[in-house]
Amino acid sequence: MNLYPKAYFKKLREIDFDFLKENGIKGIILDLDNTLINYYREFENGTEDWIRITKQQGIKLCIVSNSNKVEKVKMVAEKLQIPYFYFAKKPLKSGFLKAQKLMNIENKNIAVIGDQIFTDIIGANRCEMFSILVEPIEEKDIFITKIKRPIEKRIIRKFMSKKVRK
C-alpha cells in the first residue's frame, strides 16, 4: 500500500496550472473537509478564486467527501458549481470511480487533492490517480481524524526527507 502522495503542497491555492498541465491533469477530485472548507464550513481565502480559475483552464472538478452530511456537501458544491459525491467511504475505490466516470477522464489524468493520507492519498493511489496532499486548513478536526493526524505527520516527515534526498 502506497502511503506517499505524488505531490505535496501547503495550500490548495499553491497548486499552479503549469504543474497540473505538466502532469497531464484534466480532472480533479477534491476532498471537502479541511481541504475546501474548515470545521465551521468556511472557505479558506483564495479557494473560491482557485476553483473558478481552474474551471476556466478547462479542468473538470468533482467533490468526493466522506461526510454523510449531504446538506453540507451540497451547499459547498452548489456554491462552487461542481458535482459531488458524499459518504464516499474513502479509501474505498467506489467514490473515486464514480467521479472518474462522471468526468469521463482516464484515471492517469485525474488528480485527487486532499488533506488526509489514510483516505484521500491511499484511495487515489489505489485507483492509480495522481495524489496530491495538502495541509489541513486548520487544526480542528472530527474525533477520528484527530487520532490519525500524529501518524500522518510521521509519514509526511518521512516522505519529505526522501524527497529532499533525491
Residue linked to cell 464514480:
98
The whole-angstrom separation of Cα 138 and Cα 159 is 21
Write down the pLDDT at residue 166: 39
Write down the pLDDT at residue 157: 72
Mean pLDDT over each residue of the chain, to the nearest integer: 90
pLDDT digits (tens, 9 = 90+) for 113-157: 999 998 999 999 999 999 999 999 976 555 566 666 676 777 777
The whole-angstrom separation of Cα 75 and Cα 90 is 20
Write down the pLDDT at residue 62: 98
DSSP 89-151: -TTSSHHHHHHHHHHT--GGGEEEEES-IIIIIHHHHHTT-EEEEE--SSS---HHHHHHHHH
Write down the pLDDT at residue 20: 97
Phi, psi of 147 (to 5 degrees): -65, -40
Which of 31-35, 78-82, 159-163 shows the lowest mean pLDDT across its residues? 159-163
Write down the pLDDT at residue 159: 67
Closest CA to 65 of 40, 99, 14: 99
Of the chain, the end-to-end C-alpha distance in Å amounts to 21
Q: Does residue 30 register a pLDDT over 50?
A: yes
pLDDT digits (tens, 9 = 90+) for 64-101: 999 999 999 999 999 999 999 999 999 999 999 999 99
Write down the pLDDT at residue 54: 97
Question: Which domains, and CATH codes, for the chain?
Answer: 7-165 (3.40.50.1000)
Mean pLDDT of 28-55: 95
